[in-house]
Amino acid sequence: MDFLAQHQLYIVLIIAVGIWFGLYIYLFRLDGRLKKLERDMHREQH
């Protein structure tokens, strides 16, 4: 408990970076899926 109290800011840092990584990975995968869908649609049209 004392360790946590002393290094509060670093705990926040790790959590923040963790959240950001999660969000980034999500967006990245979404981007990939969109690209695939767009390619499929493009092919469908031609």
Partner 1 sequence: MTLRILLGVLLTLVIVAALGLPMVQHPQHWYEFPSIPGLEEKARIIFFHVPTAWLSVMAFITSMIYGIRYLRRKDPMDDLTSASAAGLGLLFCVLATVTGAIWAKFNWGSYWNWDPRETSIFVLLLIYGAYFSLRAAVEVEEKRATLSSVYSIIAAVTVPFFVFIMPRIMTGLHPGAKGDPDGAGPVIEFKMSLNMRVVFFSSLIAFTLLFLWMLSLRVRTARLEYHHQPKG
Minimum CB distance to partner 1, residue 23 (Å): 9
Smallest separation, CB 3 to partner 1 (Å): 17
Q: How far is CA 15 from CA 24, 30, 31, 32, 40, in A?
A: 14, 23, 24, 26, 38
Binding site for partner 1 (CB under 8 A): 9-10, 12-13, 16-17, 20-21, 24, 27-28, 30-31, 34, 37-38, 41
Length reported for the chain: 46
Closest contact distance (angstroms) between CB of 1 and partner 1 is 20
Phi, psi torsion values for 19, nearest 5 degrees: -60, -45
